[in-house]
Chains A and B, each alone.
Chain A
Amino acid sequence: MTDYSNPRLPEDEVNVSDRRPLRSFFALAGAVVLLCAAAAGAIAIIGGEFAHRLPYAVERQLIAPYAERFPPREHAVENYLQALAERLAKGVTLPEGMVVRAHYVDEPVVNAFATLGGHIAVYRGLLERVPDENLLAMVVAHEIGHLQHRHPIRSLGRGVAFGAALTMLSASVGGQVADRVLGASGMLTLMTFSRAQEEQADDTALEALAAVYGHAGGALETFRLMREAARANGRSEPPKFLSTHPLTQARVDRLASAIARAGLRPDGPRAPIPAAVRSAIERDAKDRDPRRTG
Chain B
Amino acid sequence: MDLILQNFDLLLFAVLFITGYVAGRWNERRHYASIRKREDEFAGILVFTNRFPPPSTTRVATVLVSGSAVISEDFFKGVVAGLYSFFGGRIRSYESLLDRARREAVLRMKEQARAQGAGMIINVKFQTFAIGGRRASSVKGVEMLAYGTALSPVGA
Name A residues whose Cβ lies closer than 8 Å to a Cβ of B. Answer: 1, 3-6, 8-9, 11, 13, 15-18, 21-22, 24-25, 28-29, 31-32, 170-173, 176
Q: Which residue on chain A has the smallest CB distance to residue B24? A: A21
Q: Which of B43-82 contact A (CB under 8 A)?
A: 43, 46-48, 54, 56-57, 76-77, 79-80
- Chain B residues touching A, majority SS: helix
CB of B93 within 8 A of CB of A170, answer no
Return A135 CB to nearest CB of chain B, in Å. 39
Q: Are B56 and A1 in contact (CB under 8 A)?
A: yes
**A16 and B96 within 8 A (CB):** yes
Contact A28 B87 (CB under 8 A): yes
Q: Is the CB of B83 within 8 A of A32?
A: yes
In the complex, B145 has a CB within 8 A of chain A:
no
Q: Report B64-123 residues with CB < 8 Å from chain A CB.
A: 76-77, 79-80, 83-84, 86-87, 90, 92-93, 95-96, 98-99, 103, 119-120
**A25 pairs with B47, CB closer than 8 A:** no
A-B contacts, CB under 8 A, total: 73
Chain B: minimal CB distance from A211 (Å): 48
A25 and B54 contacting across the interface, CB-CB below 8 Å: no
User: In angstroms, how far is the closest chain B Cβ from the Cβ of A78?
Assistant: 35
Contact of B120 among A1, A11, A15, A32 (CB under 8 A): A1
Q: Are B8 and A9 in contact (CB under 8 A)?
A: no
B95, A18: Cβ atoms closer than 8 Å: yes
Which residues of A sit under 8 angstroms from B47, Cβ to Cβ? 6
Q: A28-B87, A32-B86, A170-B9 are in contact. Are A17 and B43 (CB under 8 A)?
A: no
Our pick among A8, A13, A28, A173 for the contact of B80 (Cβ within 8 Å) is A28
Q: Tell which of A1, A3, A11, A32 has the most Cβ of chain B within 10 Å.
A: A1
- The answer to whether B80 touches A24, judged by C-beta atoms less than 8 angstroms apart, is yes
